Amino acid sequence: MTRFWIISLLCAFAVQSCQFNKSNDNPDVSHIPVEVNIRRFDRDLFRVDTTQMASGLAQLEKDYPEFSAVYFGQILGSKDSLIAPEGHVAYVKGFVTHPAIKKLADTTAIVYPDLAFLEAQLAQSFRYLKYYFPDSETPDLTTFISEYTVASFIYGKNSLAVGLDFFLGADYPYGVYNPGNPNFSQYLTRTNNKEHLAVKTLMPLVADLCANPSGDRLLDLMVHKGKILYILDHLAPYASDTVIIEYTPAQLSWCVDNEQDMWAHFLQEELLYSSVWQDIRKLVEYSPSSPGMPPEAPGRTGSWMGWQIVKAYMERHPETTFRELIELQDAQFILDQSKYRPRR
């Protein structure tokens, strides 16, 4: 089943603040063997001979049996008669020969002529995955283009897929494609780049490991998001905290400097145990800001604080395995046992 899921002196200070809590005691995993298998479906699809489209697609589906079922059946919709009344072959031919799509494919090929850097980062992440989750299998990765339909997901038993058209750089004119689409807001497209590619590729895997939150209160969601960020941080120690949380250096520095005030705000407004989605959504989901806070406050401040709570818990209980952390479903217990105290 497919499971679908962002002044020089001041900048120098901000970056230093962002890195202050990055773990420097990562275990040595160099001895753990992994094989990274990245398959370029994006290239292979656009290399199909359009004069022999039917046989070319048949071969592509043979080469990518599980992924092509997801791609053509759910992402492109070419096998849905309502979406593609002209039929699967004709629809896909129209897709790959459309001038705008061809330009997108060409741009992607220029930005990503090879993925050696991603292979190296994922190799390290998969070693940590085997270290923290010994019974896990090393995922394979398929890259694709969907005309901005989905960025990354996990499918099959343990396979990852990433849409490279979502990572063409912050300056790529995403907003021109659909100006009214909130998915192309600048605060989101700012992270559509190579620096964030590996972490966003891993995100669906980590989210899948952590399953669902234990409840719908803000505290439950904070701790759940905190677990995801904590595990992601340990699987990708090469990524800065700004990449893990998808904040700018200034935004992360603001959270660090205002941690106590944010915590006080959650308590005073009785948000911690609230299940009113419209009141808490922007505190845990992607948003340009956090309601009730100064304009400098980024969205998902609750997720960032949940990360700090989980960090505090694991520092007090270092014997806890990652699997045990995931299985701890009582958010209140984790908060209490963490002895969390926001920095002044």
The residues spanned by each domain of the chain are 28-209, 211-338
- Average pLDDT per block of 10 residues along the chain, 344 residues long: 32 37 75 97 97 98 98 97 97 97 97 98 98 96 96 95 97 87 90 97 97 95 98 98 98 97 96 97 97 96 98 98 97 98 83
- Report d(CA 339, CA 278) in Å as an integer: 29
3-state helix, strand, coil in the chain (%, to 5): 55, 5, 40
* pLDDT at res. 22: 55
For residue 67, give the nearest of 167, 156, 158 by alpha carbon: 156
- Where do the DSSP E strands lie in the chain? 38-40, 141-144, 152-155, 159-163
Q: Are 29 and 128 in contact (CB under 8 A)?
A: yes
Angle at 264 between CA 220 and CA 312, to 5 degrees: 55
Rg (CA), the chain: 21
Q: Is 320 exposed, middle or buried (0-12, 13-18, 19+ CB in 10 A)?
A: middle
* pLDDT at res. 24: 57
Q: Is 100 exposed, middle or buried (0-12, 13-18, 19+ CB in 10 A)?
A: exposed
